[in-house]
Chains A and B, each alone.
Chain A
Amino acid sequence: MYRYDGYDATMLQERVSQFREQTRRYIEGKLSDAEFLPLRLQNGLYVQRLAPMLRIAIPYGMLSSQQLRKLAFISSHYDKGYGHFTTRQNIQFNWPALEDVPELLAHLAEVEMHAIQTSGNCIRNTTTDQFAGVAIDEIEDSRPYCEIIRQWSTFHPEFAYLPRKFKIAVCGTKEDHAATQVHDIGLYLRKNDKGEIGFQVLAGGGLGRTPVIGQVVFDFIHRHELLTALEAILRVYNREGRRDNKYKARLKILVRETGLDAFCEKVLAEWEQLRGGSLTLTETEIERCKRYFQAPPYKSLDASPESLRTILARDVLFASWYSNNVTPHKRSGYAAVAISFKKTGYAPGDVTEEQLNTLADLADRFSFGEVRVTHAQNVILADVEESELYNLYQQLAADSLETSNLNKLNDIICCPGGDFCALANAKSIPIAEAIQRQFDDRELLADIGEVSLNISGCMNACGHHHVGNIGVLGVDKKGEEFYQVSIGGSSKREAKLGKILGPSFAQSDIPAVVENLVAVYREHRLDHEKFIDTVDRIGVDPFKKRVYEKEQ
């Protein structure tokens, strides 16, 4: 993974000092709340009604075991012993006291971590596929480009006060695990007919109040043009994005109100000023960044060794975990393993101090000392020897981390919701738990197969409900919490927004609603058809009919 050099380390130290001074002046009353607000947000700190929250950046989801141990330390010293993996591959802690945050950030800096630009109206953490570098269907590893974008966007002096937040995702694989099309800018790595690596550039995607799938602004740009193209889009947005209404301030609204063609013209005009200039990437820089993401020292191993096949035939629980949580690897004899943080009875994405330390140990023992956090709030060990899978599984089972449900109905993406977040209209964690309790039969879950179920506690959509195959949105009706249900959403290559079934439901009805949706699917599905494909084929009506019929 990327390691800091003297420049990175110096700038991070300068940032820590800067925020320490800003916090001191705030506490002394020399900065007003309004003046301190963007400063603390751009250092990850929310001051909330129920619990303060610090969001720490995990650039494109990569963590070393050393960093995991530091996060464990942070959770025990500044939090109540746990953290929360977010849908943008970051980690959040609740409860750190404002006056302690500068010191907390100094601790993070010791392991090349920070909370820079994890909130506020600026360019946020760039996200990517959790299988980058090991995926079989990869065009090119996205991480060197993510790092290049990280550096360009960090402390970018022109874009610290954008109209609204700005999110970038990069995808280097054929299958999209990064929800690329619902980002302000989505980048798909591509190879053109000359065999050159570059990007397709989408702009104006996003969830929230007005969900939109991004549209193509550049069908192909050469990799050397990456930063000039990004800068051109950002400059148009900074100049022309709406600032009169925060709900209309995202790039997606500018693209819609300007019209795609006119928006592209503006971007091209800006790009002409920048092309060929100093921001043009060099092969030297791309190669420099690639060196940090080279393959680890793999052994020469045969694929699916005899020992693995024997245990798979013998241990049905291991076989279930293997089929759910293990992904093929481009290197023979290795596999990528997902550790689920979706155990029933635990808030989705929550991770305890002990688990952070356990993850560090597992990473050291099984996967070259690194893990990746996924946008679905799970953790990946990307480079595990297949012959070690059973040992890993037993270790996970000993630590109660063997939950075997990746991409299944109970692998729920869920925001912290009304239990923690000041923005929420409704709770989300208890909904997730109720659904998980309803669907706790391993064989039934296996039969239902791949379904994404996403829950947000408000229309800001941190739980990505619009792009869940099943989406649940908490709404407030005269002070009471209700839940709107949609189906048919997807965050993959064929990204689409779910359709709302109809009137919202009481909290206690949701498990039954999901059960009805699943029942309709099982009745109508063709052989091996996934839930989303059945919805596409038969439409929303049969689901709608069943759900409301049963209710009466």
Chain B
Amino acid sequence: MAILINTKEKISDHWTLIQSASGPEVFSALRGRNALLPLALFLSDEEEAASQFSAIGVWLDSHQNLNKLENRLDSLPIIALNFPVFSDGRPYSLARRLRRDLGYTGEIRAIGDVLRDQLCFLKSCGFDSFALRSDQEPEDCLKAFSDFSTSYTSTVVNDIPLFRRRG
């Protein structure tokens, strides 16, 4: 079971992740929960899911894009982005696109191979919750967010790049 943190502390997880191989047949067993649906299942069975779950979010794998979600972001309280391996850089750009280009204000969660040494940049790209890989030490991970006190370039946390802040 992954330990969940935000950028400040451990938090409890209110979402049940539905695996990508699952179909709508799993819905009834999880009825009433908050479900994080894989993108394909969300797109094919959103109505059915809405009738079974108390809330719905979506998760994307790193190779997927946001095109089909662009018009439905307002209804999604959470979007999770999966790291099949920690060195996959695509979710960083997905999160930036969600926050900066699409103005998404809900929760963006990192799931999968989420490790301490990537957390600082994940935060800068707009992630705000992190389902740590099970062997990670959450107390140590929380320190990672202060690895850097500022950034040269524009980030989601601070849109103003350093060159516009220098006196």
Residues of A that sit less than 8 Å from B by CB = 5, 7, 10-11, 14-15, 18, 22, 31, 35, 38-39, 121, 148, 151-152, 154-163, 227, 235, 238-239, 243, 273, 277-279, 281-282, 285, 288
Contact = CB atoms under 8 A, between A and B. Distances in A.
B61 to A, nearest CB: 12
Given A35-B115, A157-B121, A278 B89 contact: no
B89 A14 contact: no
B9 interface: no
B152 A155 contact: yes
B117 A39 contact: yes
Interface string B90-113: 101110100011000000000000
Interface in B144-166: 147-155, 159-164, 166
B117 A278 contact: no
Interface of B: 65, 86-90, 92-94, 96, 100-101, 115, 117-118, 120-122, 124-125, 147-155, 159-164, 166
B89 A159 contact: yes
18 contacts: A7-B150, A15-B148, A38-B87, A121-B87, A157-B120, A158-B96, A160-B89, A160-B92, A161-B118, A163-B89, A235-B93, A238-B90, A238-B92, A243-B90, A273-B100, A273-B101, A282-B164, A288-B166
Contacts of A151: 152-153, 162-163
A155 B117 contact: no
Contacts of B166: 5, 7, 285, 288
Contacts of A7: 150, 162, 166
Contacts of B101: 273
Contact of A35 (B93, B117, B122): B117
B70 to A, nearest CB: 13
B154 A14 contact: no
Given A5-B166, A278-B161, A161 B151 contact: no
A238 B88 CA distance: 9
A302 B65 CA distance: 64
Contacts of B100: 273
B151 A157 contact: yes
A288 B88 CA distance: 36
A11 B121 contact: no
Contacts of B89: 121, 158-163, 238
Given A39-B117, A154-B152, A278 B164 contact: yes
Given A159-B89, A239-B93, A288-B166, A279 B161 contact: yes
Nearest to B157: A157
Contacts of A5: 166
A157 B155 contact: yes
A217 B96 CA distance: 24
Contacts of B160: 278
Given A157-B121, A158-B125, A282 B163 contact: yes
Given A35-B86, A161-B88, A279 B147 contact: no
B150 A11 contact: yes
B153 to A, nearest CB: 5
A157 B86 contact: no
A446 B61 CA distance: 61
Contacts of A227: 153, 161
A284 to B, nearest CB: 8
B144 to A, nearest CB: 9
Contacts of A157: 92, 120-122, 124-125, 151, 153, 155
B148 to A, nearest CB: 5
Contact of B159 (A31, A273, A278): A278
A282 B162 CA distance: 12
Contact of A279 (B93, B118, B148, B153): B153
A282 B147 CA distance: 28
B148 A155 contact: yes
Contact of B153 (A10, A22, A156, A162): A156
The 3 lowest CB-CB distance pairs between A and B, nearest first, are A161-B89, A157-B124, A157-B121
A162 B92 CA distance: 10
B147 A14 contact: yes
B152 A152 contact: yes
A281 B117 contact: no
Contacts of A278: 154, 159-161, 164
Nearest to A150: B152
B83 to A, nearest CB: 10
Nearest to B87: A161
Given A38-B87, A161-B89, A279-B153, A22 B117 contact: yes
A148 B166 CA distance: 13
A14 B149 contact: yes
A242 to B, nearest CB: 11
A290 to B, nearest CB: 13
A14 B117 CA distance: 14
Nearest to B165: A7
Q: Which of B87, B149, B153, B159 has the most CB of A within 10 A?
A: B153
A273 B99 CA distance: 12
A152 B153 contact: yes
Given A7-B150, A239-B90, A273-B100, 5 more contacts: A18-B148, A151-B162, A160-B92, A161-B89, A288-B166
A148 B163 contact: yes
A243 to B, nearest CB: 7
A5 B165 CA distance: 13
Residue picked from A38, A155, A159, most chain B C-beta under 10 Å: A155
A22 B119 CA distance: 13
A491 B125 CA distance: 37
A161 B136 CA distance: 20
Contacts of B87: 38, 121, 161
Contacts of A22: 117
B92 A155 contact: no
Contacts of B163: 148, 151, 281-282, 285, 288
A504 B94 CA distance: 47
Contacts of A235: 93, 96
A227 B147 CA distance: 25
A23 B100 CA distance: 34
B99 to A, nearest CB: 11
Contacts of B153: 151-152, 155-157, 227, 279
A162 B155 CA distance: 17
B86 A14 contact: no
Contacts of B147: 14, 18
A323 B163 CA distance: 43
